[in-house]
Amino acid sequence: MGNVFSEKQNHFRMQKTAFFSLVVVMAVSFFLFILSWENYKGESNWKVFSRKVLPRGEDTLIHAVQRIRKLSLLSGLPTKIERKTNKSNIYSLGNVKTQSRGPENPVPIMNLSSFKKLPQWSFEDIYNLDAPLTPTTCPQSLRNSKDEDFQKVFLPNICMFLHKDNFNIREWNRLSHFNNPFGFMGFKYNDVMPVVKLIPKPKEPLLLPKPGGDGCVHCAVVGTGGILNGSKMGAEIDAHDYVFRMNAAVVDGYEEDVGNRTSVYVHTAHSITASPIFYRKFGYKAAPHDEGIKYVLIPEGLRDFQWLNAVIKGERVAEGEYRNRNARTYYSGQYNETRFYVLHQDFLRYVRNRFLKSGNLNRGYWAIVRPTNGAFAIFTALHVCDTVSAYGFMTDDYSKYSNYYFQKYLKTNVVFYANHDYIMEKNLWKSFHERKIMKLFQKAKPQEKTEKPPPP
């Protein structure tokens, strides 16, 4: 009897052990699955990879073309891409120019994870250009800057806006070589193409000189930096023809320091949806919606195309992170097709490649490294305005100020996220200011500068 009993007990014990082992295996697999899923998601969702790092100094990586990657990593790439055997180690797209022959198909999907750092293509620094601009009626236009370095890199007629008429499968194939927001690497053709085909060609330039003015387009770009707290710059900002803002551009209650008008609001699907949640306690309720405001979208990821699809159609977002959101309500009744612009991947890539090529693009997390929304707003202004003044952007003495101007009663520190090179941007704004390309609002004069009469 006892034997049978103990045998049963043994059997039971074995079953228990087996069951326990199964649970452990399942738990471990689930954990691994979550890990790999997070990594997979990280390709399109920066938050996963976002982590704080120490600010990096200025990196001069204009020639970031050496030591690309091991040949083996290329094995999975589409055959159209040939590895140049010459010393410069630049990838080239074999038939980028000859694709008009025969039926055209999307190139196979390339994955961000195939590259350990920013890949360099032979056509990396080739951009779509718009028709040459008519000469400006503004003698002091930044387009007429005498600064040789600036003139060498500045493309006044870079193609700025993406729309159905400047996009086709050849463009898709070319742009599939660049990570978002500079292109569509890792995206599916059918997730992007139908949305781009909804974007109308802009009917008018983003900005025109004001009638009765001096023939110049004068712009202020207002960042959210703590330097604006107590600055009393509001009236000066509002005196410009146009005022650009981005992100949590709270105005109500801060007019004396930041002004009360917004003519252009630069945003991403993330910034327009997240800002009212994060910054409500500082009075930010919704994106600016002044009568006649122009909205500029930075299409930073797939979610922005899902967003755009809903915005243009006036429907709820059909899929993805913002599924079921009523996208147009985020524009408080000011959405208007003729006043909505989508920045072009070539414009964004030109800004990165020529002005803000961070050393972090050589790091494992290269795919999330990109200029800030504020930087893209400044560059938008530099290409559609004759004069640009930037307020609320980082300056050398940034540690004296809070992260945001609306943190009036709370001294915070500037937060450095790994996806942006804040120090490089800070140095660029300062250099633009010193080269008289743009005016940067600073409180403390840089020490090394000798006394100069203030600009008129």
Ligand X SMILES: *[C@@H]1O[C@H](CO)[C@@H](O)[C@H](O)[C@H]1NC(C)=O
Q: 121: which strand partners?
A: 91
| CA 244 to chain centroid | 16
In the window 170-189, what residues touch ligand X (CB under 6 A)?
Answer: none
Mask 6-45, x = binds ligand X (CB under 6 A)?
----------------------------------------
Residue 350 sits at φ, ψ, to 5 deg, of: -60, -40
Whether the Cβ atoms of residue 279 and residue 250 lie closer than 8 Å to each other: yes
Q: Which stretch binds ligand X (CB under 6 A): 11-19, 94-102, 333-341, 366-374?
A: 333-341
Q: Are strands 81-83 and 91-93 parallel, antiparallel or unpaired?
A: antiparallel
- Quote the least distance from Cβ 110 to ligand X, whole Å: 5
Distance of CA 61 to the CA centre of its chain: 19
Q: Which of 373, 358, 392 is nearest to 259 (CA)?
A: 392
- Nearest CB to ligand X, comparing residues 28 and 235: 235
- The only residue of 84, 280, 313, 323 in contact with ligand X, by rule CB under 6 A: 84
| Closest distance to ligand X from the beta carbon of 89 (Å) | 8
> CA 221, CA 377: separation in Å to the nearest integer?
7
Among 110-118, 340-348, 388-396, 432-440, the segment contacting ligand X (CB under 6 A): 110-118
What is the number of the residue whose Cβ is closest to ligand X? 230
Q: Which is nearer to ligand X, 220 or 378 (CB)?
A: 220
The answer for residues whose C-beta is within 8 angstroms of residue 336's C-beta and 6 or more apart is none
User: Which of 347, 363, 335, 360 is CA-nearest to residue 299?
Assistant: 347
Q: Distance (Å, rounded) from C-alpha 357 to C-alpha 369?
A: 9
Q: Is residue 158 classed as helix, strand or coil in its secondary structure?
A: strand
Closest Cα to residue 311, out of 198, 401, 393? 198
User: Which listed residue (66, 88, 137, 326) binds ligand X by CB under 6 A?
Assistant: 88
Among 68, 81, 110, 175, binds ligand X (CB under 6 A): 110
* Binding to ligand X, residues 396-415 (CB under 6 A): 402, 407-408, 410-411
Cβ contacts of 12 within 8 Å, gap of 6 or more:
none
Indicate the residue among 117 and 428 with the shorter CB distance to ligand X: 117
CB of 212 to ligand X, least distance (A): 18
Q: Does the protein bind ligand X through residue 114 (CB under 6 A)?
A: yes
If you write DSSP's letter for every residue of 193-246 in order, what string do you get? Answer: HHHHTTSPPPSS-S--PPTTS-S--EEEEE--BGGGTT---HHHHHTSSEEEEE
Binding residues for ligand X restricted to 281-310, rule: CB under 6 A: 292
Stretch that binds ligand X, among 96-104, 126-134, 331-339, 423-431 (CB under 6 A): 331-339
Least CB distance from residue 260 to ligand X, whole Å?
A: 4
The residue from 6, 18, 26, 76 that contacts ligand X (CB under 6 A) is 76
Q: How far is the CB of 13 from ligand X (least distance, A)?
A: 44
**Among 177, 240, 270, 339, which residue interacts with ligand X (rule: CB under 6 A)?**
339
**Mind giving me the DSSP string for 30-76?**
HHHHHHHHHHHHHTT-HHHH--B-PPP-----TTTTSS---GGGGGG
Q: Which of 66, 326, 338, 413 is in the footprint of ligand X by CB under 6 A? A: 338
Between 322 and 331, name the residue whose CB sits nearer to ligand X: 331
Report the interface residues with ligand X, using CB under 6 A: 76-77, 84, 86, 88, 90, 92, 109-111, 114, 122, 229-230, 235, 238, 260-261, 292, 336, 338-339, 402, 407-408, 410-411
